[in-house]
A and B are shown apart, each in its own frame.
Chain A
Amino acid sequence: MGKVWAFFVRDFLWELSYPLVPLWRWGGIVFRLVTFYFLGVLISPGASSYLAPYGGYYFPFVVLGLALASFQEVALTSVSESISYGMHTGTLEIMLATPTSLSTIVFSSVLYQFSIAALEILLYLAFGAWFFNLSLAQANIPATAAFLLLALLAHLPLGIISAGFLLIFKRGSPITVLFGHFSALLGGVYFPVQVLPGWLQSLSFFIPFTHALEGLRQAVINGKGLLELKTPAAVLCILAAVLMPLSLAFFAWAVRQAKRLGTLSQY
């Protein structure tokens, strides 16, 4: 635990050195909320039957989409960013010269960013509730927390695979960037998936973000529990169970390749 704590303290102190950065980020959340609040006013309640499964209001629907999209972005990019910094500066080599396991380095490097990303989801909800009458009265807290965790576990492997590409080719996998765009388009951030043509809806089933967002929306807006949401939960569990060991094995292989190729400190 001491090593995990070391990474958390390091990243916290780093953030503390630039106190305006979180303020700007949180300010960005408020601006996004204001924008989508007025867009929600434009789309009057009941105007679209597609929103009926989500309580009929656009604002709570899109707030949860935005919040989970930013959480997903952290999952997809944080490992690569951390590894990239380590390669640029040489800190990765120093860490690898200590008796610290690869998995500790990978997971601990992103722990603080995930804590902040989870906090930002709370900020989305809190700002929405305080300033824009977002109702959280029905929210099922355990199911919400479970879907955030599952969203993290299903998306983090893609970030780890991207970091593996970075180690060998000095560039992250473009698949991760594309995946982020596809998730926003097909996962239902701005509009319900049901709006899409049938073939795109079928495609969206294979994106973990779709299931994570559906579960999160149903848990927060309709107060559904995990038993009622077992299909999206099961899909995310299966994806996480398959992808996590695969991604860690790929990353370990990538580090071995980097040690063979001498690219640990090249960029």
Chain B
Amino acid sequence: MSAPAVAVQGLSKYFPQLELRHLLTFRRPEGVWALRQVAFELNPGEILCILGPNGSGKTTLIKLIATLLIPTEGRIFIHGQDTIRRPMLAKRRLGFITCNEWSFYGPLSGWQNLAFFARLHGLDPRTAIPPVARLLKLAPYLDRRFFSYSTGIKRRFDLARGMLHQPDLLLMDEPTTNLDPIAAGEVRDLIGRLREEGKTVILVTHRLGEAQKLGDRLAVMTAGRLHEIRPSPQESLEDLYRRTVQEEGGALG
């Protein structure tokens, strides 16, 4: 039997608020638990949509899986590869989509930006860029400077960058935020197509309808804990979400 696309086991994250005075006085810094004992498994081709109030730990979870944070406790496996022990192997199989339009080089063109990140994945830009540019309809924009794009086009470049190396697992942090309804719909259609291609997606979103439409599985993050939820005919997603947040607590502060 093949390994799950993602296996998260007993994952906790504590952020110490370290300052220079702590080093000088040997005092233990105070901090905050951003995640507490999160555990789940996702099979290839599944989409997990994570909802939750701001500051509840959703982005922390995404960054832990993307190897950008080190867990305080617990382990993460991507297709069987431990992200702490073998991070390079794990990174080859994951695409991190930040939805941060500043994380590009503004004076460079879209092509030049994608070429830089393609080379960091060890790819030849001439073969890596055209397929994602076709998929995301980016061809007309490739030669323009990045800072001249609209938010929607920048978001498409963000998606393209995360997909250059054809990863099995995509981590998306609010990919439709700040997009107009048509652009947001296009992103949702793309995510739907990714599922058809057998890609696994972890999608953080604040849009309940989007989560319900795309998610094979739904979860709510509250105060660093992940609660898997299943809407029923008796209780809508909105009611279930509200109840979960009220019962389990909201943000960490």
Interface residues of A (CB under 8 A from B): 2-3, 5-7, 9-10, 13-14, 17-18, 88-91, 93-100, 168-169, 256-257, 259-262, 264
Contacts and interface: CB of A to CB of B under 8 A. Distances in A.
Nearest to A95: B120
Contact of B119 (A6, A13, A261, A262): A6
B122 A3 contact: yes
Contacts of A168: 18
B120 A13 contact: no
B16 interface: yes
Given A10-B108, A17-B145, A262-B63, 9 more contacts: A7-B116, A10-B116, A89-B104, A94-B103, A98-B91, A257-B18, A260-B72, A261-B15, A262-B60
A259 B70 CA distance: 5
B112 A13 contact: yes
Contacts of A100: 120
Contact of A93 (B34, B98, B145, B161): B98
Given A17-B108, A90-B98, A98 B117 contact: yes
B241 interface: no
A73 B108 CA distance: 26
A264 B59 CA distance: 13
B119 A2 contact: yes
Contact of A2 (B16, B66, B122): B122
B105 interface: yes
B92 A99 contact: yes
Contact of A91 (B16, B60, B105, B112): B105
B153 interface: no
B91 A89 contact: no
A99 B88 contact: yes
Contacts of A262: 15, 34, 60, 63, 69
10 contacts: A9-B112, A14-B107, A18-B107, A95-B120, A98-B117, A99-B120, A99-B122, A256-B70, A257-B18, A261-B18
Contacts of B26: none
A91 B67 CA distance: 15
Interface of B: 15-16, 18-20, 34, 60, 63, 66-70, 72, 88, 91-92, 94, 96, 98, 100, 102-105, 107-108, 112, 115-117, 119-122, 145, 161
B68 to A, nearest CB: 5
B122 A10 contact: no
A93 B69 CA distance: 10
Contacts of A7: 116
A14 B15 contact: no
A89 B69 CA distance: 17
Contacts of A98: 91, 117, 120-121
A169 to B, nearest CB: 6
A90 B20 contact: no
Nearest to B165: A98
B161 A94 contact: yes
Nearest to A97: B96
Nearest to A17: B107
A5 B119 contact: yes
Nearest to B95: A97
B88 to A, nearest CB: 5
Contact of B20 (A94, A169, A257): A169
A99 B122 CA distance: 8
Given A6-B115, A261-B18, A13 B108 contact: yes
